Structure 1
Amino acid sequence: MKRLKWAKQKVKWINEWENIIWSDESKFEVFGGDGKRYVWRTPQEKYNPKCLIPTFKSGQESVMIWGCFVKNKLGPLVKLEGKITANVYVKEILEKHLLPFINNLEDKENYIFQEDNAPIHTANIAKKWKEDNNIASLPWPAQSPDLNPIENLWDELERKVRNHRPLPKNQDDLWKILQEEWFKS
């Protein structure tokens, strides 16, 4: 019901969507997929290193990122490490990355920041920081990642990473490829 109410309130929006700074976190895995990997090779190529898919013996390696965009402009891509608390979110993401991005936008006072209802986003310290920095927030219905267009951007980034050659072999490779593909977009 809350999602429907939210959608009905926004149904007449046209130009307003151009002033939304869409944001989210996402996790990218070094060896993602359904576990099935196919390699086509001739019998002579059986042990050729160029025709093998690397494997790993430890747990799944991944890189957690935060990013944002507005209309037709990509914002920063930030690698998240360790436990992200509300304090870390404010100091490391909002202050160091979001604020400079907003300050470089024309008519920066007219933008509205979108984020989901994750506890780090709704914590008092985060709310106060946004208020102190005059950052308007778009109210967001709970459990609604499908409404956020950044999810499409994450899907496209995932496809580009999976099509990148060579494939990433570790977290450092993955982070480099994520940055490369993000800024190509």
Structure 2
Amino acid sequence: MDFALAYQHWTLEDWKGMVWSDETKINHLGSDRRKWGWKKPGEGLSDRLVEGTLKFGEGNLMMWSCMGWDGVGNVCKIEGKMDADLYVSILDDELLESVEYWGISVEDLVFQQDNDPKCTSKKAKKWLEDNGVSTIVWPPQSPDINPINYLQSYLKRRLGEYEEPPRGIGELLERVVEGVRANSCLCLSGLNQEYA
């Protein structure tokens, strides 16, 4: 409610200056979430209702992406654990490349990031200040109001449409790139050049 009240008088032009960002995990096999199935009374378990599990799914891809009024910005694969240093590096490369690609000035944008410690770290705050990037006040526990989450969900649904699961993380990354290209929903400059 505080967020809605704080920005209730923003105009369309104000919102056009927003750049939304977030990280997402793309699993090699399946989802981390519980899956529900419905069966008729008296119906036993069947292949339709039970999905096999694998002990080792060969991991997942962690990705960072951003988007603004003029389209989707860069996507980058996150190698290792995301900390303040890596986050600042992503801002320095991927965010600034996206802003340049859109042809807008850093001073004209308002950047959205979540309240994760890496985003609120002294290093990240200093980078934002040094680069003249203003940020929106973001409420805690608020993934449902970040529109980039819907774009990331769309990409994951498209990845789930393949009949066969990927044979490994490399093939999963290829499918991400293919999905990005086919749907023109994300920029590729932040992904591995061997796939671009």
How high is the TM-score relative to the length of structure 2? 0.77
Match of 2:122 among 121, 124, 146: 124
Q: CA deviation at 1:26?
A: 0.5
Task: Determine which of 48, 60, 63 is the counterpart of 1:62.
Answer: 60
Equivalent residues in 2 for 1:68-83, closer than 5 Å: 68-83=66-81
Aligned partners of 1:149 and 1:38: how far apart in 2?
36
CA distance in structure 2 between the partners assigned to 1:148 and 1:38 by the alignment: 36
CA distance in 2, matches of 1:161, 1:55: 19
Q: CA deviation at 1:85?
A: 1.0
Specify every segment of 5 or more residues in structure 2 that has no aligned partner in the other structure, as ranges: 38-45, 186-196
Confirm whether residue 157 of structure 1 aligns to residue 155 of structure 2.
yes
- Displacement of 1:55: 7.2
Corresponding residue for residue 2 of structure 2: 5
Instruction: Give the alignment of 1:4-23 within 5 angstroms.
Output: 4-15=1-12, 16-23=14-21
**What amino acid does structure 1 have at the position aligned with 2:108?**
N
Deviations 1:97-143 (A, max 9, x none): 11111123333231111100000000000000011011111110111
**Residue number in structure 1 paired with 2:102:** 105
Which of 169, 172, 176 does residue 170 from structure 2 map onto? Answer: 172
Q: Measure, in 2, the Cα distance between the counterparts of 1:24 and 1:38.
A: 36
TM-score normalised to the size of structure 1? Answer: 0.81
CA RMSD of aligned residues (A): 2.4
Higher relative helix content: 1
1:54–1:169 contact (8 Å) kept in structure 2: no
Contact 1:27 1:64 in 2 (8 A): yes
Return the letter of the residue paired with 2:125. K
Q: How many residue pairs align between the two structures?
A: 168
Give runs of aligned pairs for residues 127-146 of structure 1, distance below 5 A: 127-146=125-144
SS at match of 2:137: coil
The CA distance in 2 between the partners of 1:100 and 1:119, in whole Å, is 24
Q: Distance in 1 between matches of 2:47 and 2:61?
A: 24
Aligned residues of 2:58 and 2:168 also touching (Cα < 8 A): no
Q: Which amino acid aligns with 1:136?
A: S
Task: Please state whether the residue corresponding to 1:122 is helix, strand or coil.
Answer: coil
CA distance in 2, matches of 1:60, 1:175: 13
1:138-180 superposed Cα distances (whole Å, 9 cap, x missing partner): 1101111111011111111111111135532221111121122
Cα gap change, 1:88 to 1:126, in 2 (>3 Å): same
Amino acid at match of 2:155: L
- The answer to whether the Cα contact below 8 Å between 1:157 and 1:181 also exists between their aligned partners in 2 is yes
